[in-house]
Amino acid sequence: MADKIKQRIDELRREILKHNELYYTKGAPSVSDSRYDELMGELKKLEAEHPEYDSPGSPSHTVGAPVPEKFRKVEHTAPMLSLESVTDEEGARHFDDTCARAAGEKTDYTCEPKLDGISIELVYENGMFARGSTRGDGRTGEDVTLNLKTIGTVPQRINSRNAPALLAVRGEVMMHISDFQELNRKQAESGKDVFANPRNVVAGSMRQLDYRITAERKLRVYCYRILEFSGAMPPTQWEALELLKEYGFSVSPNIKRCGDIEEAIRYHHEMEKGRDSLDYEIDGIVIKVNSLKHQAALGTRTNNPKWSVAYKFKPRKEVTRVDNIVVQVGRTGVVTPLALLNPVEVGGVTVSRATLHNMDQVERLGIKIGDYVKVERAGDVIPYVSEVMIGKRTGGEKTFRMPEKCPSCGTKLEKEDVFWRCPAGLACPAQLKETMIHYSSKGAVDIEGFSEKTVNLLYEKGMVKGISDIYRLKKEDLLALEGWKEKKTDNLLKAIEEARKVPLERFLCGLGIRNVGKHLARVLADKYGSLDKVMAATEEDLLRINEIGPEIAASIRHFFSREKNLKEIEKLRENGVVIQDRKSVGGRLSGKKIVFTGSLETMSRSEAQKMVEAEGGEALSSVTSETDLVVAGEKAGSKLKKAREKGVKVIDEKEFRKMMG
Ligand code: IVH
């Protein structure tokens, strides 16, 4: 029995050390936080029950992993502690009792979002940013000063006339979800791998020895604690945060002063409910005893302070079974493995499929058909498989192999970097259908009602064999389809009619040129103004555009040099499609970035967006510091709030109409 326990303790220590190493040095954990917490919890419990096996070297007593060699090591001014966590009201109230007892009176609290990023220390000497480091093992971290200098929210100098001789602060490096999605869009557009979540990008960026890579990522730092200060220390955590703000540091919005633990619990529930409307990931709240005098009375344990606790949210991850792994042929022929899941609700959304991106990812996860897996989601990012529950295997699981041939057309697949691709192009039914779906999608030509289902049906019936056929659909043919009544048919034909006139950038996007998404289509339209000019551009011309590199230039040239594509464009024109040139200057909204939020009364969202585009503006979906204008309709929520926070101009629908004449 005793041997068994010792064995289990050793096993747990080895596993935790392995995860630490992956987490701290590679930024790519192979298990979820809750699984990690579970392992740590079990180890701590066994060590407490069997003190004879406890050892100072156990990972339960050290905060992180050893510092990797590549960055210079820095000693922290004070140990960078971790937080004890609770998961329910009872745990929070228990914490409150302990605090009251040690402080000798009831304590009040500063509550903050628990940011899901990478913890760092920033040191300022005589008002200037001197160095910054990661947590490392809690005592010694990595010198990431150069990386941190590229982050806009890290002040280079303290904003004060009589700056203190020394100030050390602690904060979290983060990435906003909107910036993360933008980054992934760019990654995907240029054929690169996408990142699983914002935290991985942050971890990866901080590990970069080449800080120029860090500079390309939109990272932010929110500060939450003064570690050391040569000036007069503010008496409370709340005032410490106020001082940090004055000094020019960013402090997380949404912090709250709570008079007692009940208020802190209410704050927890409110934040959990509003979690989706924040533009950054949080996994709980942090409750901190407000008075620093009380904090000192409470003191710290080896690894965490007694005056603070993390009150975690319910995890947005669930376990479910992989019913099958199939492959999906995309518009550009890339064949991606897709996990079909036993449907499961993850934080209020039913999830039944998750992309596995590519074979590298399948191998990295080690996922098999029949496996139980953890599915996670963050914000409104697509759900992903984060972990395979190896312990739940029965032996009946099946290994997934990439088929040799395209499941849609039977052509032999070809390997290209991490991707497998069907080279058949539009001769492959899957690629053709995906192209038509893409062409008619909202972001491209926008033909309402021309959905995936409709495309599949019309294709099966042989009524469309290419995008130009969309414009030749006849009423009587549609009416002959099962379930197609007068109204449905008329609606589709009307939508097609309306889409005959199409702005250049939407048309370019709709063509589905490899690497050319909405953004680059717009860049091309702005630069060349007409389709003929885009088609005539040489690779050399294209390369003169800032955002276009050799790979993209080549794919654009490749597209317009293929006979088949030129014929399709010709046919589209013959079938009455008018591609509208782009007015280069003079539009009322020329160059402006606009976001719509809430519901509009006198027009649909896509009508409004088209109006913006017709005037040279760009309609985007999230509010960032680059947004010029927000149009707020009825029941506008988080985007409106964010616009106000960022000081972006907000108008209502009526004013927007007036502005558009
Ligand atoms: S205070 C001694 N405040 O959560 C105080 N930590 O699980 C230590 N974190 O390592 C931390 N948001 O990286 C504090 N508002 C916040 C935080 C926060 C996120 C992280 C921090 C810490 C981890 C503990």
Residue 546, pLDDT above cutoff 50: yes
pLDDT band at residue 21 under the 50/70/90 scheme: low
> Can you give the pLDDT at residue 488?
94
pLDDT digits (tens, 9 = 90+) for 67-88: 445 788 888 878 899 999 999 9
421-449 average pLDDT score: 92
pLDDT band at residue 170 under the 50/70/90 scheme: very high
397-410 average pLDDT score: 96
For the entire predicted model, the pTM comes to 0.58
Instruction: Say which CATH topology domain 2-61 has.
Output: Helix Hairpins (1.10.287)
> Can you give the pLDDT at residue 332?
87
* CB-facing half-sphere around the CA of 583: CA atoms within 13 A: 13
Residues 644, 625: contact at Cβ < 8 Å?
no
Which phi and psi angles does 617 have, rounded to 5°? Answer: -95, 180
Nearest atom, ligand 1, residue 305 CA: 2
pLDDT band at residue 56 under the 50/70/90 scheme: low
Instruction: Provide the strand spans (E) within 202-333.
Output: 219-229, 256-258, 282-289, 308-312, 317-329
Among 56-60, 196-200, 395-399, the least confident range: 56-60
CATH code linked to domain 316-399: 2.40.50.140
Residues 459, 432: contact at Cβ < 8 Å?
yes
Residue 200 Cα to ligand 1 middle (Å): 17
Among 312-326, 547-561, 630-644, the least confident range: 630-644
CA distance 521 to 185: 13
pLDDT digits (tens, 9 = 90+) for 567-620: 999 999 999 999 998 875 467 888 788 999 888 888 888 888 888 888 888 888
> Can you give the pLDDT at residue 29?
59
> Can you give the pLDDT at residue 536?
95
Residue 57, pLDDT above cutoff 90: no
User: 73-312: which CATH number, 3.40.50.11890, 3.30.70.260, 3.30.470.30, 3.50.50.60?
Assistant: 3.30.470.30
Tokens for 658? 């007036």
Residue 13 Cα to ligand 1 middle (Å): 23
User: What is the DSSP secondary-structure string of 613-646?
Assistant: HHTT-EEESS--TT--EEEE-BT--HHHHHHHHH
pLDDT digits (tens, 9 = 90+) for 110-168: 999 999 999 999 999 999 999 999 998 888 999 999 899 889 899 989 999 989 999 99
| Cα angle: 480, vertex 483, 485; to 5 degrees | 70
Annotation says 474 is catalytic: no
Closest C-alpha to ligand 1, atom 10 = 82
Residue 169 contacts by C-beta under 8 Å, 6 or more apart in sequence? Answer: 121, 122, 124, 223, 225, 226, 227, 244, 249
Neighbours of 343 (CB within 10 A): 11
Residue 64, pLDDT above cutoff 60: no
> Can you give the pLDDT at residue 355?
86
Closest C-alpha to ligand 1, atom 18 = 114
DSSP state of 333: S
pLDDT digits (tens, 9 = 90+) for 610-647: 888 888 888 888 888 788 999 998 888 788 888 888 88
Q: Report, at the CATH architecture level, how domain 593-659 is classified.
A: 3-Layer(aba) Sandwich (3.40)
CB distance 224 to ligand 1 below 6 Å: yes
Residue 120 Cα to ligand 1 middle (Å): 10
Annotated domain spans of the chain: 2-61, 73-312, 316-399, 443-580, 593-659
114, 317, 610, 642: the catalytic one is 114
CA distance 345 to 347: 6
Residue 263 contacts by C-beta under 8 Å, 6 or more apart in sequence? Answer: 109
CATH code linked to domain 443-580: 1.10.150.20
Residue 25, pLDDT above cutoff 80: no
Question: What's the chain's average pLDDT?
Answer: 89
Residue 354 contacts by C-beta under 8 Å, 6 or more apart in sequence? Answer: 338, 339, 341, 375, 382, 383, 384, 385
Closest C-alpha to ligand 1, atom 5 = 81
- Which mutation among 115, 122, 222 tests ligand 1's pocket best, with the greatest number of atoms within 8 A of CB? 115
